[in-house]
């Protein structure tokens, strides 16, 4: 009988170990009740597959993405430089994260401040595990044959051209993947990017997440899959707004895989 | 034979050249109000991008219908300009159809192709007029297009229609005169499309026909020169600027925001980090972020002059779709209008940038820039790789860092990040609490 392990970098370094990957949890993954479940699901998968990983734990801080997009470059760089000092201090080479905003910032914006790492989104990492046969999917899980639509996160899709990895992960579950009218390069934002997550929207005739949720519901999908904590919140709120929370679930990719693996 | 027509032609041609030269200089000065930014790296990739996106119209084809109609006009524009070359040589030398004897049958085929393209342009221009004025396609009938932009768009289409009619009229009368054996007119082996309108002119005398043919010839060539001048005042500038604009595209991932090195210097100093740059006097920082056009990069302003106001950006913008006032197209129009205003003012001995106005405030409002989700849909949609997002984010930087004027909820978020290293107000010590649940769970 063993329990799941969540080693921190500090523990690893103390025992002279270095993990293959650093799992960057992100603020939503650490504090948001709904997204904590995604973090936990991903950690269980890593345990199950036997990937050598560690997290920063209390040493992690916000990447600074929302500050930068809201215009506060000073605050962004303060966060970034501090994080880079921690990462470089542990000699991190490879980072995996379940947040496309963290992914984009660490991958594209930290190099200018001295942080150079191989950065992968968890959808890409899951796809690799599936392709390598390390994740053995049961195929007969609760998603089998269900209609599922995938909502592209802007910071994964247009910002970084990752469109296929999350779709490959979903298809591996033996489901019927249905596309929304606006998908991939034309995907409609959930409304939370660019620091909108942290303020009320400007006056308009509709909230963006409602527009997007209507489009997702129009596909007739029984579940909406996302790969981003902000999208998860926005789409979940949208589904509730439409009184469909009993019919249509919103899941992160890692949760779906973990469910299928029975963990 | 009098050389008067040749002299007049030379004068008209020289005058047009001079006006265009003055306009190009004006446009250059407008664009270079912007800050320096080196975009000369990766030249192979840049040429490739230009060939695919500008010459190859790759991104136009995200919307098939308009792309096809636009392609017809684009191909016609390039190919019919070969005929304009003949016009210019004829005009300067006093010859008529100077290429015809050299090319023989090929010339006849070429003329028929030109006429086909002229018809294609007519069809496309009529279709575009209908889309704008009768169908009133959403993105072509938005409020930022009221007034000059809408007139500009219609004028361009009407000018093109008139010019194509001039070509067909000229060819129709020219061939009737040639059949009648009138001196200088060269009989070709049949022009299909202008042949269809020949019956209109058959009953006319040689004199009348020569007048009509000459009138159409002059109208066409002077019309083209006038159009070339007009383009420099118009959104239609994209026909030239699309090329440099795509060459200077942002080749980095769209999600990457440009690092502000001037801020990095200060952050490093505050944190006591030694860098290679330490010791050098810090570069003078005029302003953080962008309040006016001169705070933007020259590429941002070139983007604005390359914009043909098609509105594909705005049609894809989630904020605009849901009724917010943000329109990426309007941001580009604002930048262009402000840059023109500044250079006009300087040229008139006015105060230029110091006229008490600015891009942010007098053209673009905070409500617009605050509504952006930085989703890059506008950037992805633009057929000539314009980047409205970069401008929006630079203005946000000005508001946040120079004015501390961000929305209150953002200021609260900044405060949370400063004190608890998270955009939400949670204790940093609780950051790792999520792990407790999994650690206590049995792994199968």
Task: Please indicate whether, in this complex, the C-beta atoms of B253 and A196 are within 8 angstroms of each other.
Answer: no
**Per-residue confidence band for B82, with pLDDT thresholds at 50, 70 and 90:** confident
The two tokens of residue B137 are 């396609």
**A132/chain B closest Cα distance in angstroms:** 21
Contacts of A29 in chain B (CB under 8 A): 434
Chain B residue with the nearest C-alpha to that of A194: B373
pLDDT tens, position by position, A65-101: 999 999 999 999 999 999 999 999 999 999 999 999 9
Structural contact between residues B386 and B307, judged by C-beta atoms closer than 8 angstroms: yes
Inter-chain CB pairs, A–B, below 8 Å: 244
In a domain, A189, yes or no: yes
Contact with chain B for residue A161, Cβ under 8 A: yes
Q: Which residues on adjacent β-strands are paired with residue B443?
A: A2
Pair A162, A121: CB distance under 8 Å: yes
B444 pLDDT band, cuts 50/70/90, is low
What is the Cα B391 distance to its own chain's centre? Answer: 16
The predicted-structure confidence for B87-104, as pLDDT tens digits, reads as follows: 899 988 888 999 998 998
| A173 inside domain | yes
Mean pLDDT of B357-368: 98
Test mutation, B289, B326, B431, chain A, max A CBs within 10 A: B431
Q: Are residues A72 and B423, on separate chains, in Cβ contact within 8 Å?
A: no
For residue A73, tell me if it sits in a domain: yes
Q: Which of A58, A193, A212 sits opposite B374 (nearest CB)?
A: A193
CATH of the domain at A221: 3.40.50
Q: Residue B281: what pLDDT?
A: 56
Residues A194 and A175 occupy one common structural domain? yes
- B434–A104 CB contact, under 8 Å: no
Inter-chain touch A204–B401, beta carbons under 8 Å: no
- pLDDT of res. A218: 98
A97 and A178 inside one domain: no
User: Across the interface, do B318 and A211 touch by the CB < 8 Å criterion?
Assistant: yes
Residues of A in contact with B270 (CB under 8 A): 78
CB contact under 8 A, B443 and A3: yes
In this structure, are A77 and A146 located in the same domain? no
Total structural domains within chain A: 2
Domain membership flag for residue A148: yes
The DSSP string of B314-344 is HHH-HHHHTT-S--HHHHHHHHHHHHHHHHH
Host domain of residue A224: 137-261
Write down the H helix ranges in A132-198.
Answer: 164-171
> Both A177 and A78 in a single domain?
no
Residue of chain A nearest B320, judged by CA positions:
A204
Domain boundary (A101, A127, A153) is at A127
Whether residue A3 is contained in a domain is answered as no
Nearest CA in chain A to B312: A186
| CATH fold of the domain at B261-422 | Fumarate Reductase Iron-sulfur Protein; Chain B, domain 2 (1.10.1060)
Mean pLDDT of B122-145: 96
Interface predicted TM-score (ipTM): 0.97
Alpha-helix residue ranges (DSSP H) falling in B94-147: 100-103, 105-133
- For residues A25 and A103, membership in a common domain is answered with yes
Domain edge (last residue) among A82, A100, A127? A127
Q: How many degrees, rounded to 5, is the angle at CA B120 between CA B115 and CA B122?
A: 95
pLDDT number for residue B440:
86
Is the CB of B422 less than 8 angstroms away from the CB of A62?
yes
Q: What average pLDDT score do residues B319-340 get? A: 98
Domain boundary among A76, A107, A127: A127
């Amino acid at each position: 009988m063993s329990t799941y392990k969540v080693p921190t970098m500090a523990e690893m370094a103390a025992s002279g170990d270095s993990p293959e990957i650093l799992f960057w949890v992100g603020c939503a993954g650490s504090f948001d009740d709904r997204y904590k479940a995604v973090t936990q699901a991903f950690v269980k998968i890593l345990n199950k597959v036997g990937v050598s990983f560690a997290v920063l734990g209390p040493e992690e801080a916000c990447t600074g993405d929302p500050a930068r997009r809201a215009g506060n470059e000073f605050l962004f760089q303060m966060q970034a430089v501090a994080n880079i000092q921690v990462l470089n201090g542990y000699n991190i080479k490879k980072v995996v994260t379940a947040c496309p905003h963290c992914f984009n910032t660490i991958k594209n914006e930290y190099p200018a401040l001295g942080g150079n790492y191989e950065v992968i989104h968890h959808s890409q990492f899951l796809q690799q595990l599936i392709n390598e046969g390390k994740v053995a999917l049961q195929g007969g899980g609760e998603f089998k044959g269900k209609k599922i639509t995938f909502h592209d996160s802007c910071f994964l899709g247009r910002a970084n051209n990752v469109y296929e990895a999350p779709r490959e992960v979903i298809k591996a579950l033996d489901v019927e993947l249905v596309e929304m009218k606006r998908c991939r390069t034309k995907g409609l934002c959930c409304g939370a990017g660019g620091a909108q997550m942290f303020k009320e929207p400007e006056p308009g005739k509709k909230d963006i997440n409602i527009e997007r949720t209507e489009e997702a519901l129009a596909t007739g999908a029984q579940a909406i899959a996302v790969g981003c904590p902000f999208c998860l919140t926005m789409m979940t709120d949208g589904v509730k707004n439409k009184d469909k929370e009993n019919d249509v679930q919103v899941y992160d990719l890692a949760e779906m895989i973990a469910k299928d693996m029975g963990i | 034979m009098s050389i008067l027509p040749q002299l007049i032609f030379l004068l008209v041609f020289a005058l047009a050249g001079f006006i265009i030269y003055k306009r190009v200089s004006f446009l250059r000065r407008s664009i270079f109000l912007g800050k320096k930014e080196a975009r000369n790296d990766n030249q192979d990739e840049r040429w490739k991008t230009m060939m695919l996106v500008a010459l190859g119209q790759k991104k136009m084809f995200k919307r098939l219908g308009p792309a096809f109609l636009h392609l017809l006009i684009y191909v016609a524009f390039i190919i019919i300009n070969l005929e304009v070359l003949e016009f210019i040589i004829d005009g300067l030398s006093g010859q008529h159809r100077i290429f015809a004897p050299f090319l023989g049958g090929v010339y006849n085929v070429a003329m028929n192709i030109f006429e086909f393209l002229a018809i294609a342009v007519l069809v496309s221009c009529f279709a575009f007029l209908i889309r704008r004025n009768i169908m009133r396609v959403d993105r072509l009938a938005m409020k930022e297009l009221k007034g000059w932009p809408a007139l500009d768009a219609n004028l361009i289409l009407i000018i093109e229609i008139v010019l194509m009619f001039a070509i067909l009229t000229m060819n129709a009368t020219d061939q009737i005169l040639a059949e009648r054996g009138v001196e200088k007119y060269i009989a070709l082996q049949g022009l299909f499309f202008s042949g269809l309108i020949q019956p209109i002119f058959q009953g006319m005398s040689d004199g009348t026909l020569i007048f009509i043919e000459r009138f159409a010839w002059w109208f066409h060539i002077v019309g083209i020169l006038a159009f070339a001048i007009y383009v420099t005042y118009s959104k239609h500038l994209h026909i030239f600027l699309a090329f440099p604009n795509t060459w200077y595209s942002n080749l980095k991932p769209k999600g990457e925001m440009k690092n502000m090195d001037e801020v990095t210097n200060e952050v490093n100093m505050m944190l006591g980090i030694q860098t290679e740059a330490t010791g050098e006097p810090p570069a003078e920082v005029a302003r953080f972020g962008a309040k006016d056009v001169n705070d933007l990069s020259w590429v941002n302003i070139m983007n604005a002059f390359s914009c043909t106001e098609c509105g594909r950006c705005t049609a894809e913008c989630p904020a605009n779709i849901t009724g917010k006032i943000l329109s990426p197209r309007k941001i580009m129009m604002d930048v262009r209008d402000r840059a023109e205003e500044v250079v006009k003012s300087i040229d008139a001995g006015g105060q230029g940038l110091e006229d008490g106005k600015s891009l942010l405030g007098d053209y673009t409002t905070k409500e617009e820039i605050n509504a952006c989700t930085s989703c890059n849909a506008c950037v992805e949609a633009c057929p000539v790789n314009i980047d409205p997002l970069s401008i929006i984010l630079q203005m946000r930087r000005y508001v946040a860092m120079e004015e501390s004027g961000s929305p209150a909820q953002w200021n609260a978020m900044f405060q949370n990040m400063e004190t608890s290293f998270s955009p939400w107000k949670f204790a940093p010590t609780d950051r790792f609490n999520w792990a407790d649940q999994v650690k206590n769970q049995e792994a199968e």
